[in-house]
Amino acid sequence: MPSAVLRTDSETGAVYAALEPEIRRALPRTETHISREGDTVTITVEAADTSSLRASVNSLLECLTVTQRISSVAKE
């Protein structure tokens, strides 16, 4: 089963709050978990095939990027 692990230590509170509801949604052929330990958020994705893995990781990376950009702008 293909899998990927994403970690970030940037804007962890905002990242966790934004991504946790998305990760709780059931997606076909994927299983995703999120955890927060200290200043690090870890996202683990397991998928039935590489196409599902790619789609899930791309979606999460887009959400992660948007969350970090919004948080950065909000600090200005």
Q: pLDDT, tens digit, for every residue of 5-58?
A: 999 988 888 889 988 998 888 788 999 999 999 999 999 999 999 999 999 999
Residue 22 belongs to domain spanning: 3-75
Number of domains within the chain: 1
Model confidence, pTM: 0.86
Closest C-alpha to 23, from 15, 13, 33: 33
pLDDT band at 69; cut points 50, 70, 90: confident
Q: Checking DSSP bridges between strand 40-47 and strand 3-8, what pairing results, if any?
A: antiparallel
Query: For residue 67, is pLDDT > 80?
Result: yes
CATH code of the domain covering residue 54: 3.30.310.50
Query: For residue 71, is pLDDT > 90?
Result: no
CA 71 from centre of chain: 16
Judged by DSSP in three states, 14 sits in helix
Torsion of CA 43, 14, 26, 4, to 10 degrees: -20
Report the pLDDT value the prediction gives residue 72, as an integer from 0 to 100: 81
